[in-house]
Amino acid sequence: MSLLNDLFYTNKNTFKKTFNLFKNNWLIIFTGLLYTTLNLLLYGFVGLIARSILGILSGIVLFIATSAMISSYLYLLDNILSREKFDLDDLKEGFKIYLWKIYGVFFIGWIAKLFASLLLRPMASSYIISGLFSTIITVLILILLNPLPEAIYQKIYSPWETILYAFDFIKNNWIEWFIPNVIFMGILYLTTGEYLLDIFTINLSFNFDLSIKGIALYAIGQILFSFIMIYRGVLFKTLSTSTRRKRNFMRNMYK
């Protein structure tokens, strides 16, 4: 019973806070177009590098630039939660705030994936097994490290410590975290057909469908996605700074 009460009141308060924050920072929905444009330019530039004598650097450039864009978006979320607003300077400043922390997380992930592929190479002799292995890794990351973006911008840890914290957070709060997240992901999928398998998604894909329906679905998707990301931040802050017992105690004290 205490779990159900905690789920209800925690998400009730989280929804209220998120609604007010989103209402005052609705311009964040337009960052989707910005990051889509930057991604197109980035992949075009990386493609040119890959065909040149500097091709060996294309992967590094892609990792750093992607980390910078993720850093920018997470910094906007950080400002929305901490200052209840963001501006153009935050958008520009954000490209470097968490850059190397995110790059460090990606590098650790790359090393882990490389080690795992070498370890399992004898078993992954076919494309089917190799594809299955890749799918399993993606699902495990999606589940076990789901709050990694929030841990990056809300906690002051090294890349490795941040990964460990995200895992520990899920271990202690998996019910409180996944119930609202699964509901929101279901709503997003039913509304737009989009499903998010990458925990570092910073915008929904734009398929360049310029019909009224296509534009409307993209706009609705970006509104939902932006609301969800703020909601995740508020929920993570609540769960990471309290326990179920503490939250119940505080609610009873202020009745």
How far is 105 from 159, CA to CA, in rounded Å?
Answer: 5
Mean pLDDT of 32-42: 91
Per residue in 196-224, pLDDT tens? 889 999 998 777 677 888 888 889 999 99
Contact 166, 145 (CB under 8 A): yes
Q: Give the confidence band of 147 by pLDDT, cuts at 50, 70, 90.
A: very high
Higher model confidence: residue 186 or residue 215?
186
Of 11, 16, 2, 14, whose CA–CA distance to 179 is shortest?
A: 11
Number of H helices, E strands in the chain: 10, 0
Q: What is the mean pLDDT of the chain?
A: 89
